[in-house]
């Protein structure tokens, strides 16, 4: 019985590590916390620290998911969906923090940009909540084909949100770039946001 208990404990620990659906609840909760903090954040670096901290606390889930390999079918799509949500959050936290120190943006513009990022996070969070309900559902009202179709739809949804986040980020930065060009200050903007090969959005 002792050997059996030890084996079960090990098996359960491995399941947590290798089954991405176990992360869905944690990710959904963290996205909710980050969006709530984002809605009340002041457009200053100090005011943004809480959002940055929440993302730092959550990043361990995304990093763990990236290490999971050899998944197939719906498990692979669940993993990739959650990783993309992590990417969306990472873009927001990293780039918006840089925007807060960019003198080419007015406070009202920074506020509008934060609202846009927050909305994309909210939509991503809603997708994760739906994903969580599907992968953790004990209901027999849905067969495997129906479940996979819903997971595919959520995956494509989040993929689109990530593409929009990247596009939105590039467009916002292009405004700063044009203003910097008029002031002959492009070098500082390139240093702030990184050269093309270093950009991840």
One-character DSSP codes across 88-135? HHHHHHHHHHHHHT-TTS-HHHHHHHHHHHHHHHHHHHHHHHHHHHHH
Structure letter (DSSP) for residue 197: G
Give the Cα separation of 80 and 31 in Å (integer).
Answer: 16
Whether 88 and 125 have beta carbons less than 8 Å apart is answered as: no
CA angle 158, 162, 165 (to 5 degrees): 135
Whether 101 and 43 have beta carbons less than 8 Å apart is answered as: no
Q: What is the pLDDT of residue 199?
A: 63
Q: What is the pLDDT of residue 19?
A: 58
Residue 8 has pLDDT above 50, yes or no: no
Residue 180 has pLDDT above 60, yes or no: yes
Q: What is the pLDDT of residue 196?
A: 64
Q: What is the pLDDT of residue 137?
A: 58
Instruction: Show the tokens assigned to 136.
Output: 């953790």
Q: Average the pLDDT over 4-24 and give the result.
A: 43
Look at residues 63, 56, 29, 11 and name the one whose alpha carbon lies nearest to residue 132. 29
Structure letter (DSSP) for residue 70: S
Helix (H, G, I), strand (E, B) or coil at 67: coil
- Report the chain's mean pLDDT, rounded to a whole number: 81
Look at residues 108, 111, 113, 88 and name the one whose alpha carbon lies nearest to residue 174. 113
- Exposure string over 99-125, b if 16+ CB within 10 A, otherwise e: bbebebbeeebbeebbebbbebbbbbb
Instruction: Show the tokens assigned to 3.
Output: 């050997």
Residue bearing tokens 């916002």 = 172
Question: What predicted TM-score, i.e. pTM, was given to this entire model?
Answer: 0.80
Per residue in 72-110, pLDDT tens?
667 888 889 999 999 999 999 999 999 999 999 999 999
Per residue in 25-65, pLDDT tens?
778 888 888 888 887 766 677 778 888 898 888 888 788 88
Q: What is the pLDDT of residue 109?
A: 93
């Amino acid at each position: 019985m002792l050997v059996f208990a030890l084996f079960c404990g090990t098996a359960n620990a491995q399941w947590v590590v290798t089954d991405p659906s176990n992360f869905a609840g944690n990710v959904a909760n963290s996205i909710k916390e980050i969006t709530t903090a984002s809605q009340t954040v002041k457009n200053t670096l100090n005011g943004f620290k809480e959002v940055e901290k929440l993302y730092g606390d959550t990043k361990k889930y995304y990093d763990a998911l990236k290490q999971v390999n050899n998944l197939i079918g719906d498990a692979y799509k669940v993993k990739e969906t959650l990783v993309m949500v992590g990417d969306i959050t990472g873009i927001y936290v990293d780039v918006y923090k840089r925007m807060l120190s960019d003198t080419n943006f007015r406070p009202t513009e920074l506020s509008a940009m934060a609202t846009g990022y927050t909305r994309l996070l909210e939509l991503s969070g809603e997708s994760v909540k739906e994903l969580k309900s599907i992968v953790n559902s004990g209901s027999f009202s849905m067969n495997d084909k129906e479940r996979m179709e819903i997971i595919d739809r959520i995956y494509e949804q989040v993929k689109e949100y990530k593409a929009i986040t990247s596009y939105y980020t590039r467009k916002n930065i292009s405004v700063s770039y044009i203003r910097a060009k008029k002031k002959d200050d492009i070098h500082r903007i390139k240093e702030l946001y990184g050269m093309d090969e270093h950009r991840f959005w």
